[in-house]
């Protein structure tokens, strides 16, 4: 209460002038100018806080590539440096003199610096970056600066110093870093409204590109990770924001039931990787039996496959659904002169290299000044002692007299000096001891001065040629510290993985045809096939419409479903057959088509779309099989035959929007399937893209050939192994593969290898005896055996180059050997024949591995089969793709009879670069060919109708007429083969029985 009274009295004693200032003026209260509003405080404080975090915590500096805490740690370790290890706890405590944010941040930053294996030598358990295990407590582990750090990061003479946060110590503003450390270590941090993510790069490549920059060449660098793996840097964007890096684990196939992960992607650990694999397995995206983690100093994760799981597809599935592939988005942000800047990796490297040149020049200039001072005082000392100037001070009694006497005594001898003699120089002369003066050696003094002059001349030369000096500096760094720092991450270009093709079909597709539902949880509906949660389903309706929609647990698509199945985008081998009625003209049309691209959930009309159009018949064929249907016509007074057979396999495959060919102008009662034959599609054409190391059917890379059924691909490897695999596009090939081609079981493989035990080169020729899908060794099981060459050429030839440095082979000329003439084809396990006993420099092929001369029994491409992959079958059709415009009629009938409507002449476009002439099939000329593809010896039979078909409404002629007897052509004689090659058995011609059209005439049947 007393205080309140005193306060009231103080307010009463306030002068009126002050009270007047607090009064309102025109109803508006005066505001004290010294008062800051809360809004202003928040705005300024937040800006100050954001600037502090950006500049002092999270973002590295451009010059030395370090954050403040890292810089203070290294400075503290330099203070404690005595060549021995220091407890990390002591380093943390000493660093707290400079870093005000506690021991935890210092300890974490110190461990991260150590794990980058560049600046700090570690002792003890510092954790494991592969497994994610943390380091031991700071009191248990030790550290010291590495020799590399002492060499490139410290020089007190070129360092600019700042006062520490408490004013008691000095700390460096930037370390004088003479190396692009920021790019070598990388950096990651999150500030206020700003982030930084710079990926680490390879030590040796940084040095090489720094040299390239100094020499005016192009600079190009890509990240390199300590964890290894593979990376695709095609969208790296020089490390700037918006770029992306795809990183993959290195997965090897141990056998058909086991996969091994030996290198993991950057930013992951073996624990997180295993967790992601187990999650994908639980969701049904992949199917594995178990997983083992054997990681120690190097990563090793063993994945055991479940039964009936393809290892190649599982590898793709691991990349698609787990952390075996991760995407990293770099974001380069650095601090340059107290300002954040966004610089690309090339620009940062150039800045760091230029800064290194600046520091090297500064060090040389400092050294030059030091040498000049040494030369000056050494010369002055010599004059002082040699000319006995010291004797002039004997009679002086004062200090000034001594200084004056020495100064006067030196004047006659200092004309050659480079600068004037100062008072400090004279004082230093007076400090020379009598013992040193008495033992003065003129010759030794001259040698010292000469060494100083030589070093000074070299320093001046280096300053004048600072670029070459800097290049030599970087080369010295590479020589001294580059060992063991080779690139660990393999640079690759990845092929995109279609997740729908590699995912495990873990669900079952059901269709409720009555109610119009599809889904994988309609247990009471009809089962169609296995599917996955990300598949698309194609649905056809009795209205003649179709659509593609995403599969779901239960989805209504519409009533009237006649067909539903899993749809694969880009599938051109699944062919659909449709017969429908055009509502406008009343004519019925037939067509064959594939569906390779659509807009999801959009309805497409397979008819002309006119009112009254309806679907007569629909069927789907996974591999384009030939199909014969029986068409039943409605009874009409003028029709004598109400049934006719139509072979849909004779129709060209076109786009789904094409109108088709007229099958009949008469009303159709029903269409019934009669029989289904073989595929009408050609063999599948396969290419190998050596950039991504994958097979494809997009005409990218090397053409391997046309593949059918059991055809295989042969791959040869550096270690003397071969592999026979199928032509599935998901097949993976190892990195040590040296050759790939379509395998022919009759073609011999020739190899030359070196046996270290006998010190002899052997040659052998063999055929593949083991045809299972695994790597099979074909060299003897001898330790150190080395494959020289391997080839599948028809005429294999090697060149033997002798060692010209040895006396025994010095005068021998190089010789060439035809291996097919040197040795016959033998068993795969045979040793072979001795090719050369003398010492050779190398044995090389004189031609490519596949050879220059083709084998005489190589197949000719089958150009007469219909192939939806070719342009003739709809790819070049203007209505292909997502287009609803109906194509025009492919031909008009010559008459009104059902037969003339059903069978018409079909134009076949000419093949490019093909000498064969394709004849159009007509009702008067039906040609059936059967061929043996392996021997090119075929029996061709031509059947033609002798009677022409009358075109009138009153008499309908059957589509099958009397066929003449078949004339067989003589079989060609077998080709003569070399005795050095494995003989090929002649294969008999294959008999094919055709019963496409029903007929009572016995001549319609073939023998």
Kindly list the catalytic residues.
140
Contact of 559 with 515, CB cutoff 8 Å: yes
Q: Residue 240 and residue 235: Cα distance in Å, rounded? A: 10
Contact of 181 with 59, CB cutoff 8 Å: no
Phi/psi for 71 (5° steps) reads: -60, -40
Q: Residue 403 and residue 425: Cα distance in Å, rounded? A: 10
Long-range CB pairs of 550-554, under 8 A, 24+ apart, other chains included? 550/600, 550/601, 551/507, 551/509, 551/518, 551/519, 551/520, 552/518, 552/519, 552/520, 553/519, 553/520, 553/521, 554/517, 554/519, 554/521, 554/522
Contact of 389 with 406, CB cutoff 8 Å: yes
Q: Residue 427 and residue 442: Cα distance in Å, rounded? A: 22
Q: Residue 123 and residue 135: Cα distance in Å, rounded? A: 11
| Longest Cα–Cα distance in the chain | 158
Contact of 88 with 122, CB cutoff 8 Å: no
Candidates 791, 935, 899; CA nearest to 852 is 791
Q: Residue 616 and residue 612: Cα distance in Å, rounded? A: 12
Beta strand ranges found along 284-380 (DSSP E): 288-293, 301-305, 325-328, 334-335, 340-341
> In angstroms, what CA-CA distances link 922 with 430, 646, 906?
124, 13, 7
Under DSSP, is residue 179 helix (H, G, I), strand (E, B) or coil?
A: coil
The strand pair at 526-531 and 507-512 is best described as antiparallel
Look up tokens 């809360």; give the residue.
Answer: 38
CA angle, corner 588, sides to 585 and 592, nearest 5? 130
Q: Residue 719 and residue 731: Cα distance in Å, rounded? A: 20
Task: Give the gyration radius of the chain's Cα atoms.
Answer: 44
> Running DSSP on this structure, what letter comes out for residue 58?
I
Q: 358: Cβ–Cβ under 8 A, 6 or more apart, which residues?
A: none
Question: Sheet holding 625-633: strands in order across?
Answer: 643-647, 625-633, 668-679
Candidates 71, 67, 93, 64; CA nearest to 80 is 93
Q: Residue 614 and residue 708: Cα distance in Å, rounded? A: 37
> In angstroms, what CA-CA distances link 171 with 96, 160, 776, 1006?
12, 9, 64, 100
Token pair of 465 as six digits: 């040629």
Q: Residue 524 and residue 942: Cα distance in Å, rounded? A: 53
> In angstroms, what CA-CA distances link 677 with 556, 624, 835?
35, 10, 54
Contact of 116 with 64, CB cutoff 8 Å: no
Candidates 521, 564, 508; CA nearest to 284 is 508
Candidates 172, 130, 168; CA nearest to 155 is 172
Candidates 99, 113, 102; CA nearest to 143 is 113
Q: Residue 25 and residue 425: Cα distance in Å, rounded? A: 76
């Amino acid at each position: 209460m007393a205080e309140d009274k005193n306060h009231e009295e103080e307010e009463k004693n306030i002068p009126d002038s002050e009270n007047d200032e607090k009064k309102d003026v025109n109803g508006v209260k005066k505001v004290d100018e010294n008062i800051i509003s809360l809004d202003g405080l928040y705005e300024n404080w937040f800006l100050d806080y954001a600037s502090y975090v950006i500049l002092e915590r999270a973002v590295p500096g451009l010059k030395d590539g370090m954050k403040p805490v890292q810089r203070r740690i290294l400075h503290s370790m330099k203070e404690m440096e005595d060549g021995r290890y220091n407890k990390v706890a002591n380093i943390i405590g000493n660093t707290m003199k400079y870093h005000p944010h506690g021991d935890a941040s210092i300890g974490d930053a110190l461990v991260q610096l150590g794990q980058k294996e560049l600046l700090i030598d570690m002792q003890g358990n510092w954790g494991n970056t592969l497994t994610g295990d943390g380091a031991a407590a700071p009191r248990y582990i030790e550290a010291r600066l590495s020799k590399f750090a002492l060499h490139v990061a410290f020089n007190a003479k070129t360092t600019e110093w700042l006062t520490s946060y408490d004013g008691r110590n000095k700390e460096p503003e930037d370390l004088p870093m003479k190396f692009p450390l920021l790019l070598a270590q990388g950096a990651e941090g999150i500030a206020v409204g700003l982030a930084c993510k710079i990926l680490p790069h390879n030590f040796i490549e940084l040095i090489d590109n720094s040299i390239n920059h100094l020499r005016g060449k192009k600079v190009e660098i890509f990240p390199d990770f300590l964890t290894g793996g593979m990376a695709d840097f095609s969208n790296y964007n020089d490390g700037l924001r918006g770029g992306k890096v795809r990183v993959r684990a290195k997965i090897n196939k141990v056998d058909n039931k086991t996969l091994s992960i030996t290198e993991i992607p950057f930013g992951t650990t073996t624990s997180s990787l295993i967790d992601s694999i187990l999650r994908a397995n639980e969701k049904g995206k992949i199917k594995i039996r178990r997983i083992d983690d054997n990681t120690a100093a190097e990563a090793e994760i063993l994945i055991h496959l479940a039964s009936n799981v393809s290892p190649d597809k599982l590898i793709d599935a691991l990349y698609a659904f787990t952390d075996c592939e991760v995407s990293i988005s770099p974001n380069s942000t650095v601090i340059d002169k107290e300002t954040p800047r966004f610089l690309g990796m090339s620009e940062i490297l150039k800045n760091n290299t230029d800064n290194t040149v600046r520091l090297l020049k500064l060090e040389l200039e400092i050294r030059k000044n030091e040498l000049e001072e040494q030369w000056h005082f050494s010369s002055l000392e010599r004059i002082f002692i040699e000319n006995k100037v010291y004797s002039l001070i004997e009679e002086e009694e004062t200090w000034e007299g001594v200084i004056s006497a020495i100064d006067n005594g030196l004047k006659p001898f200092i004309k050659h000096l480079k600068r004037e003699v100062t008072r400090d120089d004279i004082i230093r002369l007076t400090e020379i001891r009598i013992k040193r003066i008495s033992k003065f050696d003129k010759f030794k003094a001259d040698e010292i001065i000469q060494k100083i002059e030589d070093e000074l001349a070299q320093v001046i030369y280096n300053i004048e040629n600072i670029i070459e000096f800097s290049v030599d500096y970087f080369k010295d760094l590479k020589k001294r510290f580059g060992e063991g720092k080779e690139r660990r991450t393999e640079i690759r270009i990845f092929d995109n993985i279609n997740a729908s093709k590699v995912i495990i079909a873990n669900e079952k597709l059901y269709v409720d045809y009555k109610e119009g539902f599809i889904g994988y949880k309609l247990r009471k509906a009809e089962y169609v096939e296995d599917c996955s949660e990300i598949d698309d389903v194609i649905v056809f309706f009795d209205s003649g419409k179709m659509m593609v929609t995403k599969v779901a647990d239960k989805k209504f698509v519409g009533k009237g479903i006649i067909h539903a199945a899993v749809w694969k985008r880009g599938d051109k081998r699944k062919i659909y057959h449709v017969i429908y009625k055009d509502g406008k003209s009343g004519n019925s049309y037939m067509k064959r088509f594939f569906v390779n691209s659509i807009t999801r959930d959009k309805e497409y009309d397979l008819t002309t779309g006119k009112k009254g159009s309806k679907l007569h018949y629909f069927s789907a064929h996974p591999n384009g099989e030939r199909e014969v249907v029986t068409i039943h016509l409605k009874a009409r007074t003028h029709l004598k035959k109400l049934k006719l057979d139509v072979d849909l396999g004779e129709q060209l495959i076109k786009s789904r929007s094409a109108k088709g060919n007229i099958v009949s102008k008469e009303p159709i009662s029903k269409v019934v399937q009669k029989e289904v034959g073989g595929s009408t599609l050609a063999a599948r054409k396969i290419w190998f893209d050596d950039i991504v190391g994958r097979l494809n059917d997009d005409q990218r890379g090397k053409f391997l050939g046309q593949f059918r059924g059991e055809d295989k691909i042969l791959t040869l490897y550096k270690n003397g192994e071969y592999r026979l695999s199928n032509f599935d596009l998901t097949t993976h090939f190892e990195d040590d593969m040296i050759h790939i081609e379509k395998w022919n079981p009759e073609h011999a493989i020739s190899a030359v290898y070196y046996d270290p035990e006998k010190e002899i080169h052997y040659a052998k020729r063999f055929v593949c005896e083991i045809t299972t899908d695994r790597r099979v060794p074909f060299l003897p099981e001898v330790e150190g055996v080395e494959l020289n060459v391997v080839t599948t050429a028809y005429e294999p030839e090697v060149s033997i180059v002798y060692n010209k440095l040895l006396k025994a082979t010095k005068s021998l000329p190089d010789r060439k050997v035809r291996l097919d003439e040197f040795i016959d084809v033998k068993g795969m396990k045979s040793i072979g024949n001795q090719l050369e006993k003398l010492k050779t420099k190398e044995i090389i092929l004189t031609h490519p591995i596949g050879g220059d001369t083709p084998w005489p029994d190589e197949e000719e491409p089958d150009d007469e089969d219909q192939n939806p992959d070719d342009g003739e079958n709809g790819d070049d059709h203007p209505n292909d793709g997502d287009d609803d415009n109906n194509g025009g009629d492919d031909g008009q009938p010559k008459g009104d009879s059902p037969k003339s409507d059903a069978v018409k002449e079909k134009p076949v476009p000419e093949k490019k670069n093909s000498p064969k002439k394709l004849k159009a099939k007509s009702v008067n000329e039906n040609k059936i060919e059967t061929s043996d593809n392996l021997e090119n010896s075929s029996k061709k039979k031509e059947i033609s109708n002798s009677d022409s078909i009358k075109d009138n409404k009153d008499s309908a002629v059957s589509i099958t007429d009397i066929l003449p007897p078949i004339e067989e052509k003589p079989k060609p004689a077998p080709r003569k083969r070399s005795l050095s090659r494995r003989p090929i058995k002649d294969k008999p011609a294959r008999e094919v029985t055709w019963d496409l059209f029903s007929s009572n005439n016995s001549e319609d049947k073939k023998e």
